[in-house]
Amino acid sequence: MISVILVTFQSVDVLPQCLDSLERCSSSNELDIWIVDNQSTDGTWEWLIQYKNDQTVKPFLNLHFLRLGANKGYAYANNRALAKAQGDYFLLLNPDTIVSKDAIQACLDVMTANQSIGAATCRLELANGEMDRACRRSFPTLWNSFTYFSGLARVFHASSRFASYQLTYLDEFGSYPVDTVSGAFMLLSRVVYEQIGGFDEDYFMYGEDIDYCYRMKQNGYKVWYDGGVTTTHLKGGNGGKKSKASLFYFYDTMGIFFEKHYMPRYPPWFGIVFKNLYRKIIVNLLSCL
Query: DSSP for the chain?
Result: -EEEEEEESS-TTTHHHHHHHHHHHTTTS-EEEEEEE----SSHHHHHHHHHH-TT---SSEEEEEE-SS---HHHHHHHHHTT---SEEEEE-TTEE--TTHHHHHHHHHHH-TTEEEEEEEEE-TTS-B-GGGEE----HHHHHHHHHSHHHHTTT-TTTSTTTTTTS-TT-EEEESEE-TTEEEEEHHHHHHH-S--TT-SSSSHHHHHHHHHHHTT-EEEEEEEEEEEE--S-SS----HHHHHHHHHHHHHHHHHHTGGGS-HHHHHHHHHHHHHHHHHHHHT-
- Predicted local distance difference test score (pLDDT) of residue 2: 94
Is-contact 117 187, C-beta < 8 A? no
CA distances from 247 to 16, 75, 127, 178, 238 (A): 27, 17, 21, 25, 15
Stronger pLDDT, 88 or 24, i.e. the higher one:
88
Stronger pLDDT, 243 or 86, i.e. the higher one:
86
Quick one: what percent of the chain has pLDDT higher than 70?
Answer: 82
Q: Which residues pair with 131 in a beta bridge?
A: 125
Distance CA 289, CA 286 (A): 5
Kindly report which listed range (191-195, 258-262, 282-286) carries the lowest average pLDDT score: 282-286
93-129 confidence digits (pLDDT tens): 999 999 999 999 999 999 999 999 999 999 999 999 9
* Mean of per-residue pLDDT scores for the chain: 86
Supply the pTM of this predicted model.
0.86
Instruction: Give yes or no for residue 245 having a pLDDT over 90.
Output: no
Q: How confident is the model at residue 288 (pLDDT cuts 50, 70, 90)?
A: very low
Instruction: Give yes or no for residue 187 having a pLDDT over 80.
Output: yes
- Predicted local distance difference test score (pLDDT) of residue 277: 58
- Predicted local distance difference test score (pLDDT) of residue 285: 46
- Predicted local distance difference test score (pLDDT) of residue 286: 42
- Predicted local distance difference test score (pLDDT) of residue 150: 84
Sign of the alpha-carbon torsion through 170, 172, 175, 181: positive
Instruction: Give yes or no for residue 248 having a pLDDT over 80.
Output: no
Q: Which residues pair with 5 in a beta bridge?
A: 34, 92
Average pLDDT over residues 229-258: 69
Give the other-Cβ count within 10 Å of 242's Cβ: 11
Average pLDDT over residues 48-55: 81
b/e 24-45 (16+ beta carbons within 10 angstroms → b): ebbeebebbbbbbbbbbeeebb
Stronger pLDDT, 263 or 119, i.e. the higher one:
119
Stronger pLDDT, 63 or 170, i.e. the higher one:
170
Distance CA 106, CA 101 (A): 10
